Amino acid sequence: MKPQLIKGNEAVIKAAVLAGCRAYYGYPITPASEIAEAAAYYFPLTGGHFIQAESEVASVNMLYGAASAGIRAMTASSGPGISLMQEGVSYLAGAELPCVIVDITRGGPGLGNIAPEQGDYRQVVKVGGHGCYRVLVLAPNSVQEMADLTTLAFDLADEYRTPVFVMADGFIGQMMEPVTFASEVRPVTTPEWAVDGTAATRKNLIASIRIEADELEKHILNLDAKYKKAEREAVRYEAFMADDADLVLVAYGMVSRICKSAVEHLRAEGLKVGLLRPITLYPFPEAKIRQLARTASVFGCVEMSTGQMIEDVRLALEGRKPVEFYGRCGGNIPSEEEVLKFAREVLNRSTPVVVSEEVVHG
């Protein structure tokens, strides 16, 4: 297929259709509404199903039903709607049902505003529902990745039998860029565990309830083993000029693009600054951060929030190196000039000083 100039929100749906998704249940909310609009147009054309649910609570439970039947299914929303879905996400994880949920993040808390932010990190990555579960989370930083990571999300959902989030800030959802889509539609078969109304699947049972304590404990430990497997095998990141950096900036989504430009500028000045962009927010690229800590003096976390991902950066470093923070919120985005100033100040503060043959960071 030829590249198409397309908005990020619409790219999600075209990629989902090509990935074999055939059911969308959702409720419109800015800045994610174009996803529902595109789904309403494209899904019926492919023989799929689109339902505008009466609420986000209803849509996530419809998603549970479709996933139980072995159908590749999805929904999308923004912060307030994702909050309403959290109970259903816990049920989906407990029943080990694969599905894709897209979160186009906006300013909060409360109704906040419709401007882009990254304030959903905690509720999505750390999970906002009840119980011992996790969800995989992918963070695109371009419209092309909105398409590519949506496809990947369906594959990971099936592989690990779990809900997978695609979490993008409102900038990525609303901007237009050229996208090259897959040339073929993925064939999807009904998995053997599904309940699709046939005699062959009558023996199957989809449920998240386990009354006996030992039975539930066994189930939780099986889930935990699955998440640990994902932590070993599903981590994705981009490292840009980071291997020899004194300062490693850590950023995702739109902010990572600004940081990448800042890194190029600082390198031209002779400053050793690099970028680590987590593509999977869970599993988080902890091993790569620890590897970079062998040579880096300091890390700088840049976010469109008051600092939510920074906790994972600090946990990964286990106190080995200091972590500085710069953020904007409420719909504001760090400018390249702000990132440049932040990076220079951090480097000035962390310049090694030799004292009695010991290196001490100022």
**What CATH number is given to the structural domain containing 213?**
3.40.50.970
| Amino acid, res. 15 | A
Place of tokens 């074999």: 20
pLDDT at 198: 87
The structure tokens listed for 66 are 């479709």
DSSP string computed for 19-51: TT--EEEE---TTSHHHHHHHHHHHHHTT-EEE
The helix/strand/coil state of 151 is helix
Under-70 pLDDT residues of the chain: 351-362
Contact 74, 16 (CB under 8 A): yes
Same domain, 48 and 196: yes
Same domain, 38 and 133: yes
pTM: predicted TM-score of the whole model, two decimal places:
0.95
Same domain, 206 and 76: yes
Q: Which domain holds residue 306?
A: 237-361
Q: At which of 218, 233, 248 does a domain end?
A: 233
Q: What is the pLDDT of residues 35-78, one digit of tens each?
A: 999 999 999 999 999 999 999 999 999 999 999 999 999 999 99
Angle (deg, nearest 10), helices 213-233 and 143-160: 140
Q: At which of 211, 233, 255 does a domain end?
A: 233
Q: At which of 175, 205, 233 does a domain end?
A: 233
What domain count does the chain have?
2
Same domain, 12 and 40: yes
The structure tokens listed for 275 are 């970028």
Same domain, 222 and 311: no
Same domain, 143 and 258: no
- Express the helix, strand and coil content of the chain in percent, nearest 5 each: 40, 20, 40
pLDDT at 351: 59
Same domain, 275 and 179: no
In sequence order, the 6+-apart residues with CB closer than 8 A to the CB of 223 are 93, 96, 132, 133
Same domain, 72 and 192: yes
Angle (deg, nearest 10), helices 33-45 and 8-18: 30
Same domain, 292 and 188: no
Same domain, 215 and 265: no
Comparing CA positions, the residue from 304, 322, 308 lying closest to residue 118 is 304
Same domain, 51 and 185: yes
